[in-house]
Amino acid sequence: MSLKEQLVSGKFVLIAELQPPKGNQVSELMEHVEHLRSRVDAFSVPDLQNAIMRLGSLSVCTLLKGKGVDPIFNLSCRHRNRLALQSDLLNASALGLENILILQGDDPSFGDHYEAKPVLDLDLLGLLEAAQQLREGRDLAGHELSGKTTFTLGTQIEAGTPGHGLDLNDVEKKVRSGVDFFFTNSIFDPDLFQVFSEKVSPFQVPIIAGITLLKSVGMARYISKHVKGTSIPEAIIDRLMKASDKQKTSVEIAAELVKAIRPFCQGIHLIPIGWESQIPVVLDHSGL
């Protein structure tokens, strides 16, 4: 059953993030795929995440498709103009990739090529519109295409942080642009997520909640301070700080969050940050 069919049917889905390598060697990545394929429904492949130059999402997703697993092609609008973005979407369609996650992308100044210039010819809504137009058989300039795409389109939505409410107008604009599912930012506060879930429920779009494995106290503090839309309660940071086994405690925290938010979403997006081997452990602890 495809990801689209699972979402339409109401099935609870499990998605694992697979970071492309910084280079063209994919043997380790494929080992993760074989290790996880029986436990998850799809793999999401980031596109130049954190503005770090890596192997592209398009090629990795094509390789995953060839392995018989369901990939989610990530496409960021920050690094390409509208010609390249539309072409990459058509490339994905021609290669049999149907699940597309549209993202804003990270500013190059934060990456490993800080002198690179951002493009931002299209913003996130503009790229969603382009993808929707391709589904209707025409490009952004209004030219008819020889064929239509059959994308299942997703994008990211911020579930809100204490003191910062959810922008329902932004949600509505994305839904009108043809979004079929939403990924959230990383969730660390189940109560706040429940409030978010209740607010967006009238839109009837599947919500897939992000769960990140915290590898260290420093990482937790950095995310809480610098990652937009994400706030980590001090209780979690304190628990991690006092833990003698950081990995074990991180897995326990992730599993507890999964169990707490599961009733309020239609899926979980597990972000291992190099701890792919711990995803099955998180799922076991979560009862999934």
Residue 99 parent element (H or E): strand 99-103
Could you tell me the two tokens for 42?
Answer: 């799809």
Residue 218 parent element (H or E): helix 217-226
The mean per-residue pLDDT over the stretch 136-159 comes to 96
CATH of 3-286, one of 3.40.630.30, 3.30.350.10, 3.20.20.220, 2.40.30.20: 3.20.20.220
- CA triple 117-85-182, angle to 5 deg: 100
Decide if pLDDT at 207 tops 60.
yes
The mean per-residue pLDDT over the stretch 273-287 comes to 96
Predicted confidence (pLDDT) per residue in 33-83, tens digit? 999 999 999 999 999 988 899 999 999 999 999 999 999 999 999 999 999
Give me the pLDDT at residue 229, please.
75
Range of weakest confidence among 25-39, 102-116, 156-170: 156-170
Give me the pLDDT at residue 222, please.
87
Range of weakest confidence among 13-17, 155-159, 209-213, 221-225: 221-225
Range of weakest confidence among 117-121, 164-168, 192-196, 266-270: 164-168
Phi, psi of 155 (to 5 degrees): -150, 175
* Overall residue count recorded for the chain in this entry: 288
Could you tell me the two tokens for 93?
Answer: 């369609």
* pLDDT band at residue 110 under the 50/70/90 scheme: confident
Q: Where are the domains of the chain?
A: 3-286
d(Cα 49, Cα 285) in Å, to the nearest integer?
A: 28
Angle between helices 82-94 and 124-135 (to 10 degrees): 40
Angle between helices 190-200 and 246-261 (to 10 degrees): 30
Q: What is the pTM of this model?
A: 0.95
* pLDDT band at residue 215 under the 50/70/90 scheme: very high
d(Cα 161, Cα 219) in Å, to the nearest integer?
A: 18
Give me the pLDDT at residue 3, please.
95
Give me the pLDDT at residue 161, please.
65
